[in-house]
Structure 1
Amino acid sequence: MGLNLKDWLARCPLVAILRGIKPEEAEAIGDALLAADIPVLEVPLNSPDPIESIRRLAKRFGDRALVGAGTVTNPGDCARIAAAGGRLIVTPHADPAVVRAAKAQQMICVPGFFTPGEAFSLLAAGADGLKLFPAEAASPAVLKAMLAVLPKGTPVLPVGGMDTTTIPAWRAAGAAGFGIGSAIYKPGDDAAAVAAKAAALRAA
């Protein structure tokens, strides 16, 4: 599969945020998510040994999954993540320098934003999509207004508070995808728990 964010989101609009995952759990959790056809896997850098988890996921799932890092705040981390096989960079904040560093490594980059000014500066730096964060502080109406002014086709993914109850309204407002954290994985969840949560989210 190519390095096109829209292709991955067309397959499944959910991004699994595996905050707190340990390297020894990564492959079993990845298996459960791929079995549920959720192929975009994000390991936040504030997890235990995140680069090793990314390396194991990328090695096991190869081109069947889009594996990368979240909570990336330092442009210098992009090269380390790419070297481990990561192909996705997600940030919590609007920093064009991280976007440029990710694009220099030929990675997909989905930086965080909250205002139109941030959105346009990130797109100018080469962002492939935008993460509306924290989505709890916005609303589907805010997303709809943003999409009216952003370049047509810009994928916007709300992150924060996304679960089976909130997804439908955001989807109706035009969200291209969703970053799912504790609603799909929290530390201590085994593969069976993740598989059950993944199935419910896919249905939503």
Structure 2
Amino acid sequence: MKKSDVLEQIRKIGLVPVLRAESESQALALAGAIADGGVTCMEVTMTVPGALKVMARLAKERPEILLGAGTVLDAETAKECVGEGATFIVSPAFDEKTVSYCRAHEIAVLPGALTPTEVIRAWDAGADVVKIFPASAMGGAKYLKSLKAPLPNIEMIPTGGVSLATAHEFLDAGAYALGVGADLVDTKAIRGGHPETVTAHARKYMEIVKGFQAGCLI
């Protein structure tokens, strides 16, 4: 898939669940439950045990999922993730070599930043979208709106503090898409044998996103 197509799919789906789990099997169960709820985009973080194996299995078994790799801290790791099927690379911070590698190989890259200076630096280096993390620590949607006011041309995905209660606020503030963590990626529900809880939550998120997108088209 071309980089432009990957980025368009991220925007269209509107959600990027941050997949953290305690085991490979739990990660796969979470991914399946989330995708069954209509959220067919997610990043498997490198903090998941056997993360590369999880990516490889998802790429093979759930081809409908737009698969990304998260918590990627260097270019070598980015290369390994792409080799296992990741179509976009996400990081909690900005690493110039990682962005350079992705640019050279036409891979969508979403480095993390927080302050205006960090955001501009990441964008100028070639970020396709800048991950604003942790957004909650700076005031959530209000902070994103403050960043977008002087930097309307920079695409941003807020992560941290995104929930069903705040999703619409972040979208209204100008989010390219939403990075969603524990509010959707519910390991407790999976441990308890209730993947349907995660699936139902995913559907609620998609209802918010699609409702917002429909309103923007009116």
Normalising by structure 2, what TM-score? 0.83
Q: Is the 8 A contact 2:19 2:42 kept in 1?
A: yes
Measure, in 2, the Cα distance between the counterparts of 1:6 and 1:106: 11
Q: Give 2:8's aligned amino acid.
A: D
Measure, in 2, the Cα distance between the counterparts of 1:68 and 1:178: 14
What residue in structure 2 maps to residue 71 of structure 1?
Answer: 71
Identity %: 29
Measure, in 2, the Cα distance between the counterparts of 1:134 and 1:87: 23
Measure, in 1, the Cα distance between the counterparts of 2:62 and 2:120: 33
Q: Give 2:130's aligned amino acid.
A: L
Uncovered stretches (5+) of structure 2, i.e. residues with no partner: 209-218
What residue in structure 1 maps to residue 49 of structure 2?
Answer: 48
Measure, in 1, the Cα distance between the counterparts of 2:18 and 2:202: 12
What residue in structure 2 maps to residue 192 of structure 1?
Answer: 196
Q: Is the 8 A contact 2:59 2:65 kept in 1?
A: yes
Deviation of the 1:25 alpha carbon: 4.0
The one-character-per-residue Cα deviations of 1:139-179 (angstroms, maximum 9, x if unpaired) are 32322232133252x32111012111111211111112111
Aligned length: 202
Instruction: Tell me: CA distance 1:21–1:196, structure 2 relative to 1, closer, same or farther (3 Å).
Output: farther
Residue pairs, 1:7-156, within 5 angstroms: 7-20=8-21, 22-62=23-63, 64-139=64-139, 140-150=141-151, 152=153, 154-156=154-156
Deviation of the 1:10 alpha carbon: 3.5
Aligned CA RMSD, in angstroms, stands at 2.0
The one-character-per-residue Cα deviations of 1:96-118 (angstroms, maximum 9, x if unpaired) are 22211223333211111011211
Normalising by structure 1, what TM-score? 0.89
What residue in structure 1 maps to residue 179 of structure 2?
Answer: 179
